[in-house]
Amino acid sequence: MPSLDSFLSPGLQYGIAHSNLTCQVITGILVLLSVTSWAVILSKHFLLSRVQRANLSFLREYRGSNHALELFQRREHHDYSSYYHIYHAACREMAWYLLGEDEPGDTFATRLQGAGRVTPSQMGAVQNAMERSVAEAALRLEARMSWVATSLSGAPFLGLLGTVWGILDTFSQLTTTGGAADLTTLAPGITTALVPTVLGLLVAIPGMICYNGLVSRIRGMVVRLDNFASELSAGFDRTFVDHRPDAEVLPSMGALGSPSMPAFSGSSASPLPQALHAAHARA
């Protein structure tokens, strides 16, 4: 089985073997950042996969249900599904406005048959509950990702700090010992000083690639959460919201005022009364 040294360059092996205290401290911090970041990345990867499977399972059950509150009435739980938490929050709010209770009881199905419908303003409260649940689900998906981003973006700068510190120590030793500044004298110290920068890049580059992949997955899942909330809101709106306009009250006759009739002039009068008058005179 190949050892770790076979994957390292000779210069890196030499720098690690002859590292000083500053290099060892910064290397230890970089290793700690790397272990922590990869632990969060891997745990987040498995969590997102589990949430995605749970969401698909819940979505199939929801779209196959007879009405929007059927799964809520059956008290089914999908703890890892973000869709379920959005659905449950919306159903609790809707049940409160329909029946005056936010949890399904033994008579829930019977009472639901004669519950009637809710007003558009009450549906607005249900939509607010869904929006809060979507925001909370997005925060749960993005939890601890800021720590990973900070650790991975700070690793190269920490490595650069170790390099600059090591180079300063190397030149400081030359001035105190009075030795000649030739390549043989400078090479060990500079090689050791470059080790933190190399390790910082090795920590940051693969970690940032995986981090960006996770961020892309989380953004896609948040968009799908919004889409599901819109689908759920449309289903509730069609089933439980009364959109009929209020009956218009007819105004009184006094409020209408007297009708205005146009006046007829002699030139515009109808010729029929004149003809009748002339015939009567001849008779």
pLDDT tens per residue across span 4-44: 555 566 767 767 776 788 888 998 999 999 999 999 999 99
Q: Please, what is the average pLDDT of the chain?
A: 82
pLDDT recorded at residue 65: 87
Instruction: Give the lowest-confidence range in 73-87, 227-241, 259-273.
Output: 259-273
Q: Kindly report the pTM of this predicted structure.
A: 0.75
Predicted confidence at residue 113, as pLDDT, reads 78
pLDDT at 205: 94
> What SS3 state is found at 263?
coil
Rounded CA separation 246/244 (Å):
7
DSSP states of 191-218: HHHHHHHHHHHHHHHHHHHHHHHHHHHH
Q: Is residue 142 within 8 Å of 190, Cβ to Cβ?
A: no
CA distance linking residue 243 with residue 117, whole number of Å = 9
Task: Give me the percent of the chain exceeding a pLDDT of 90.
Answer: 45
**Looking at residue 170, what is its pLDDT?**
80
Binned at pLDDT 50, 70 and 90, residue 251 comes out as: low
DSSP of 68-126: TTHHHHTT---TT-HHHHHHHHHHHHHHHHHHS-SS--TTHHHHHHT---B-HHHHHHH
Worst-scoring range by mean pLDDT, 9-23, 104-118, 136-150, 169-183? 169-183
133 exposed, middle or buried (CB, 10 Å; 0-12, 13-18, 19+)?
buried
Predicted pLDDT at 70: 86
At 91, list the tokens.
Answer: 């159903």
